[in-house]
Amino acid sequence: MSSVPLRSTPLSSSSYLQDPRLSRLFSASSRPSNRAALPPFPRIRASAAGGFSSSLDTGATTELDAVSAFSHIVPDTVIFDDFQKFPPTAATVSSSLLLGICSLPDTIFRNAVEMALGDSACYGLENIEARLSCFTNKALVNVGGELAKMVPGRVSTEVDARLAYDTQGIIKKVHDLMKLYDNVGVPPERILYKIPSTWQGIEASRLLESEGIQTHLTFVYSFAQAAAAAQAGASVIQIFVGRLRDWARHHAGDPEIDASIGRGEDPGLSLVTKSYNYIHKNGYKSKLMAAAVRNKQDLFSLLGVDYIIAPLKVLQSLKESITTPDEKFSFVRRLSPQSANTCNFTQEDLIKWDQRSLAAAMGPASVDLLASGLEGYVNQAKRVEDLFEKIWPPPNV
């Protein structure tokens, strides 16, 4: 990893960081983000991508085949019915997924949940909170173990969002989940641990990665979060493109978003581009994941990023669209390590990020979206526990 110049930056007061939802994370300070101009992207035919082999070289192929030459395309589906149609390369197990499983008829996943609810190590616990936490951990891992058999890539496992401001709590939870995965025979290299990108979550990621444990930092809505996550050594950094665009449609006053709009850029796509270039120019190991992609144009604009989570309607459109090598249309690789190396970053971008500088750099969009994301995850975790309390023990226990 290349060295990064360090420089302290002055901090100024800002009222939006007084959001009580994030009071444990932030101090009342802010700093606008400056961007370097990005170079033009080379136009590359899809058939030129290394390692890609299909009918593209000899005849018609689909747009889905073509874009898959540049980025790992991950279906944004909760589960089940679309596995054969769009086989996922990776998967995520979460509270939301557990709720979906419990609403469906018998499946291997439903059986995995019921096996968790019948685990003697959990139902022997007298404390109800500890028992429900044990059930949830077991269910996540049992389902994650089944998913690991179905996908070639890694399974990302959600860490309880109620621990988002507790570094040691996150680390303990990850260690507990690791032991359970070991018990069901899933090796560590197949698992990511999905952690919210609060400062405490980023610090937990740094400590876990130093142990060789792979982390997936989510709810990244600002360059400061992405840069801090890269410096922490997070294995995967997830940016929600469409959510930033939605925020910008109804709000103003975020320096980073206002600057991207002033340049005529989409704020979500702009954040992915800058973060990708920062990671590659500075030699960080992190892989970047673009989520909340809303349409094919979003996806085309992100080609070259490591992972793109695409909705099923977008995947269906790509699969139904045929292209041939001799067509005038050619796909464009928007992001590449080569183009990243030509980018320039300000000294403010290249600081060593800490809790205070992160709080200073996060604008109202990232504060609002992080808080709402955490609230949603916490609510889902509570719903799972409420459901488990009602249906425990399952009928076959």
Distance from C-alpha of 117 to C-alpha of 138, rounded to nearest angstrom = 8
Report which of residues 146 and 14 the model is more confident about: 146
Domain-embedded: residue 130: yes
Continuous H helices in the chain: 63-67, 95-102, 108-117, 120-123, 128-150, 167-183, 199-210, 223-232, 241-250, 255-262, 267-281, 296-301, 312-320, 337-341, 355-361, 364-391
- Mean pLDDT for the chain? 84
Domain count, the chain: 1
Residue 75, pLDDT score? 87
CA–CA gap between residue 162 and residue 18 (Å, rounded)? 20
Q: Which residues are catalytic?
A: 194
CATH of the domain at 384: 3.20.20.70
Residue 47 has pLDDT above 90, yes or no: no
Q: What percent of the chain has pLDDT over 70?
A: 80
Q: How far is CA 239 from CA 147, 199, 220, in A?
A: 23, 16, 5
pLDDT of the residue at 60: 59
Domain membership of residue 73 as a residue range: 63-391
46 part of a folded domain? no
Report the alpha-carbon distance of residue 123 to residue 131 in Å, rounded.
6
Q: Averaged over 183-200, what is the pLDDT? A: 98
User: For residues 23 and 13, what is the distance between their CA atoms, to the nearest angstrom?
Assistant: 15
Burial class (CB in 10 A: 0-12, 13-18, 19+), 306: middle
Half-sphere CA count of 60, side-chain side, radius 13 A = 6
pLDDT level of residue 81 (50, 70, 90 thresholds): low
Please choose, from the candidates 72, 326, 51, the residue with its C-alpha nearest in 3D space to the C-alpha of residue 64: 72
Residue 325 has pLDDT above 70, yes or no: no
**239 part of a folded domain:** yes
Q: Is residue 58 a part of any domain in this protein?
A: no
73 membership: H or E segment, kind and range = strand 72-76
Q: Which of 103-112, 209-218, 355-364 is predicted least confidently?
A: 103-112
Q: Which residues contact residue 53 at a Cβ distance below 8 angstroms, ignoring those fewer than 6 apart?
A: none
Tell me if 35 is assigned to some domain. no
Residue 24 lies in a domain: no
